[in-house]
Amino acid sequence: MEFSIGDKVRFLDEKGEGKVVEIRPNGHVIVEIDGMDFPFPAAQLVKVLEVEQYGHISVREVVREKEASDKKSVPAKRTSRSKDGVKEFDLHIHNLIDSHRGLNNGQMLQMQLDYCAECMEQAIYDKEERIILIHGIGQGVLKTEVRKLLSFYHGIEFHDASYQRYGYGATEVIIH
């Protein structure tokens, strides 16, 4: 993942966030946290989306943009329907690419978030009322970042999906 000075970043293995103040050629990024600088391997960092930078995403805007573009729909092999007809999107990395060998955690997370955004856009365009995003449990990094991404959308609600069916590994999104 490419970083620029001034980017706000979060840590994959630790809580908290900071601001990129220096990028070193050895693959380390210097991050300012509470006025102190700390080196981190770039692979252990992920950019934070800023509301001020990206604004909120309205459901109507997604439909308008999708209609205006020739964007292909989300590949069917990555989606399924639950027994009650709700579309499920599996965000696990092994479902998105054939091999994740050579990718660092930050790159894999970015691919999963990009796919999540595609799924949201497709669900809104298809006028789905509800969808399930399957992120798994793990250490909770993907779940946290997915929910942060969802917070940019107006006209939706989200919460944990059915515990009996998914445990703590999925988020249900209701689209208004």
Alpha-carbon torsion (63, 161, 132, 112), positive or negative: positive
Residue whose tokens read 């595609």: 118
Tell me: pLDDT of 167 over 80: yes
Domain that holds residue 26: 8-47
CA 13 – CA 163 distance, rounded (Å) = 26
How many degrees, rounded to 5, is the angle at CA 51 between CA 48 and CA 52?
Answer: 110
Tell me: pLDDT of 156 over 90: yes
- Count of structural domains, the chain: 2
Let me know whether 29 and 109 are in one domain. Answer: no
CA 46 – CA 96 distance, rounded (Å) = 19
Let me know whether 32 and 114 are in one domain. Answer: no
Let me know whether 86 and 162 are in one domain. Answer: yes
* Separation in Å, CA 102 to CA 27, 139, 175: 15, 21, 36
Let me know whether 33 and 101 are in one domain. Answer: no
Residue 17 lies inside a defined structural domain of this protein: yes
Tell me: pLDDT of 62 over 90: no
Let me know whether 25 and 108 are in one domain. Answer: no
pLDDT, mean of residues 141-170:
92
- Which CATH number belongs to the domain containing residue 167 in this structure? 3.30.1370.110
Question: What's the pLDDT score for residue 53?
Answer: 45
Let me know whether 36 and 79 are in one domain. Answer: no
Let me know whether 124 and 82 are in one domain. Answer: yes
Burial of 82 (0-12, 13-18, 19+ CB in 10 A): middle
Let me know whether 149 and 80 are in one domain. Answer: yes
Let me know whether 42 and 77 are in one domain. Answer: no
Percentage of the chain lying above the pLDDT 70 cut: 79
Structural element, H or E, at residue 150: helix 141-150
